Amino acid sequence: MKKRYFLHAGAAMLGTVWLSRYLSGRSEVMATAKNEFEISKTEEEWRKILTPEQFSVLRKHGTERAHTSSLDKQYAKGAYVCAACDLPLFTSDTKFNSGTGWPSFFNSIEGAIATTVDKSFFMTRVEVHCHRCGGHLGHVFNDGPAPTGKRYCMNGVAMKFIEG
């Protein structure tokens, strides 16, 4: 009986370790402070300048709940900037209502974002992060409107809106 228990426990532990790669919500190539970005801070420094929700999304690759961001229904003229470093990312001219519950854009400001492969949750997606600080913003999909056919599905908490 003890041998069988040991084998089952060992198999469960190995399975958990293997699955954690897919369930952790982290991408294969992480945009973290370990990478070289123009703005680089320690985890403690980021925690001091970001709210807990911003830190979870921008630095730990979390996702805000759908339909919770005021930026989802923001349609005034202006720019959407990174909440961590104020880099302009998107303009209001490229925003559209995707119906997903997250702010969506069909194009970014040239040079503002970078992408990595995200293989979490048993799927492959393209993760979008801030080019300057590496903060996780969301994902980009190929089901957006013309002219690009892209849908940059962003976490509103990862951005600030600057009217103008």
Helix boundaries (H) for 24-65: 43-49, 52-58
Among the listed residues 149, 9, 153, 128, the one whose alpha carbon sits nearest the alpha carbon of residue 58: 128
What single string gives the DSSP state of each residue in 128-153? EEETTT--EEEEEES---TTT--EEE
Candidate list 82, 85, 130, 153, residue with the active-site label: 153
161 half-sphere exposure, CB direction, 13 A CA radius: 18
Whole-number Å distance between alpha carbons of 162 and 29? 30
3-state helix, strand and coil shares in percent for the chain, rounded to the nearest 5: 30, 25, 50
- Whether 130 is a known active-site residue: answer no
Catalytic residues: 153
